Amino acid sequence: MGHLISSTSMLQAAREQDFGITAFNVHTLEMLQAVVEAAEDTNTPLILQTTVGTVKHLGPEYIVAAAQTAAKQASVPIALHLDHCTDYELLVQCIRAGYTSVMIDASMYPYEENVRRTQEVVKVALAAGVNIEAELGKVGGVEDDIVVEEEDARLAVPEECAAFVEVTGVPTLAPAIGTAHGIYKGEPKIAFDRLEQIYKQVGVPLVLHGGSGIPEEQVKRCVKQGMAKMNVATELRIAFSNAIKDVFTANPNENDPRKYMVPAKHAVKELAIRKMEMAGCIGKANAVR
């Protein structure tokens, strides 16, 4: 492909053609390579994501350099997205470094303040040709430093979603529909009727947060009802870490990082392909260009 692309056109194509694009949170070079290989091997469009915590851990320049290298070598379209950012300065810093998509999460504020903060980001990001995602309602669970207790999680209101997209001009929207960050206790209770109303009233691609552990038939239903992007974070971290734990269980004295990073990479790649299959984006690289 040559370079990282904005996720806007990718997600619009996904919405129009009724499939979902998987976005994977990566924390290390090996995790990034694993999901890129998964996309390459299956001719699938890819959204790489990092949390704010990972940006602080690695630095945006290192992350962008690795993602750009992947995009340069890959034959599939790749975007680099900043997940759940509440800090305007950091968000601008990531755009300057080369991120092609950002999420401004002001869902913890009242509606009007969410509008104001989203508008501020839309202005700077659109000028840079970068996609923007905003959240309405409140997704429960733990995402880096953002902790939302179960009783504080709120579903998005369809009329509010429509008005929000209209007034902010945000090109992608993450409406809370009952999914949560982290691992579910039991099955998630997804408000499909709510999603249906939001999809009918909102013309932009929708984003499904909390994609770890949602059963396959529920993922398929979400995609069918308009979720054009599915975020997967926790499950990838678990697969990565468990593979490393297995190596040390078998050989507690192992001290060559390649010996535990290679199986960890394989575990992430395998899981990424399974998630791509669930979202229906396998083989869709040509559909989003």
The catalytic residue positions are 83
178 in a labelled binding site: no
Q: Do the Cβ atoms of 3 and 80 come closer than 8 Å?
A: no
Q: Do the Cβ atoms of 54 and 21 come closer than 8 Å?
A: no
Q: Which of 81, 117, 209, 284 binds Zn ion (CB under 5 A)?
A: 209
84 in a labelled binding site: yes
Q: Which residue is nearest to Zn ion (CB)?
A: 209
35 in a labelled binding site: no
Per CB under 5 A, 81 contacts Zn ion: no
- Would you put residue 79 in left (φ > 0), alpha (ψ -120 to 50) or beta? beta
- Shorter beta-carbon distance to Zn ion: residue 174 or 243: 174
234 in a labelled binding site: yes
Question: What tokens does 16 get?
Answer: 């129009």
**From residue 161 to residue 200, what is the string marking binding to Zn ion with x (rule CB under 5 A)?**
----------------------------------------
Task: Give the span between the Cα atoms of 4 and 64, in whole angstroms.
Answer: 9
Task: Give the span between the Cα atoms of 219 and 204, in whole angstroms.
Answer: 19
Question: What tokens does 155 get?
Answer: 């579903």
232 in a labelled binding site: yes
The 3-state DSSP class for residue 207 equals strand
- Shorter beta-carbon distance to Zn ion: residue 175 or 243: 175
Q: Do the Cβ atoms of 231 and 23 come closer than 8 Å?
A: yes
Site stretch for Zn ion (CB under 5 A), options 28-36, 61-69, 161-169, 209-217: 209-217
Q: How many CB atoms sit inside 10 A of residue 249's CB?
A: 8
CA 42 vs. chain centroid, Å, equals 19
Residues of this chain, 116-155, that bind Zn ion according to CB under 5 A: none
Instruction: Report the nearest approach of Zn ion to the CB of residue 209 (Å).
Output: 3
Instruction: Report the nearest approach of Zn ion to the CB of residue 81 (Å).
Output: 11
Task: Give the span between the Cα atoms of 38 and 273, in whole angstroms.
Answer: 6
- Shorter beta-carbon distance to Zn ion: residue 209 or 265: 209
- Shorter beta-carbon distance to Zn ion: residue 117 or 209: 209
Site residues, Zn ion (CB under 5 A): 209
Please enumerate, by residue number, every residue annotated as part of a binding site for dihydroxyacetone phosphate.
182, 210-212, 231-234
Please enumerate, by residue number, every residue annotated as part of a binding site.
84, 105, 135, 181-182, 209-212, 231-234
